[in-house]
Structure 1
Amino acid sequence: MGIEHAKSESPIHWRYFLALEEDLRQLARYIEFAEDNFSTYSVELASLLLSAGSEIDVVAKQICKRIKRDSKANNIGHYANQIGAALPSVGKFKLSLPKYGLCLHPWKNWSSNPRKSPYWWKSYNNVKHQRHTHYKEANLKNVLNALGGLYVLVLYLYPELAEQGRLSPNPSLFRPEASFFNGISCLDTELLIKYELRS
Structure 2
Amino acid sequence: MSLPHWQYFLSIEEDLLRCSRYVEFEKSNFSTYSVEFARIIVAASAEFDSVAKILCKAINPGANPQSINAYHPIITSKYPRFLEYTILVPSMKLEFQPWKEWTDSAGPGWWSKGYNKIKHERDKHFAAANLENALNSVAGLLTGIAYLYDATYGEIPKLNLASAPKLLEPHDNPDAPNQSAVWWSCEVWK
| TM above 0.5 | yes
Which residue of the other structure, out of 143, 148, 151, is the alignment partner of 2:139? 148
Aligned to 1:89: 81
Q: Specify whether residues 91 and 103 from structure 1 end up closer, same or farther in structure 2 by C-alpha distance, changes over 3 A only.
A: same
Q: Specify whether residues 164 and 68 from structure 1 end up closer, same or farther in structure 2 by C-alpha distance, changes over 3 A only.
A: closer
The reply to whether residue 182 of structure 1 matches residue 179 of structure 2 is yes
SS at match of 1:171: coil
Which residue of the other structure, out of 68, 79, 82, is the alignment partner of 2:60? 68
CA distance in 2, matches of 1:119, 1:46: 15
How do 1:47-58 and structure 2 match up within 5 A?
A: 47-58=39-50
| Structure 2 portions without partners, runs of 5+ | none
CA distance in 1, matches of 2:14, 2:154: 20
Note the C-alpha offset of 1:165.
5.1
Aligned to 1:173: 167
How do 1:40-51 and structure 2 match up within 5 A?
A: 40-51=32-43
When the two structures are aligned, how many residues end up with a matched partner? Answer: 183
SS at match of 1:103: strand
Aligned to 2:51: 59
Give the aligned residue type for 1:95. Answer: I
CA distance in 1, matches of 2:95, 2:48: 20
Report which of the two has the higher share of strand.
Answer: 1
Note the C-alpha offset of 1:47.
0.5
Note the C-alpha offset of 1:158.
1.0
CA distance in 2, matches of 1:85, 1:194: 25
Q: Specify whether residues 175 and 161 from structure 1 end up closer, same or farther in structure 2 by C-alpha distance, changes over 3 A only.
A: farther
| Structure 1 portions without partners, runs of 5+ | 1-8, 185-190
Give the aligned residue type for 1:12. Answer: P
CA distance in 1, matches of 2:19, 2:109: 22
Note the C-alpha offset of 1:102.
0.2
Q: Deviations over 1:158-180 (max 9, x none)?
A: 12768455134111111111125
Note the C-alpha offset of 1:116.
3.6
Hey, which bits of structure 1, 4+ residues long, moved more than 4 A?
Answer: none
Aligned to 1:188: none
The reply to whether residue 128 of structure 1 matches residue 126 of structure 2 is no
Note the C-alpha offset of 1:125.
0.4
Q: Specify whether residues 32 and 161 from structure 1 end up closer, same or farther in structure 2 by C-alpha distance, changes over 3 A only.
A: farther
The reply to whether residue 137 of structure 1 matches residue 128 of structure 2 is yes
TM-score w.r.t. the length of structure 2 is: 0.88
Q: Deviations over 1:24-75 (max 9, x none)?
A: 0111000100111100001111000110111011000000011111211010
Work out the percentage of aligned pairs sharing the same amino acid: 37
TM-score w.r.t. the length of structure 1 is: 0.84
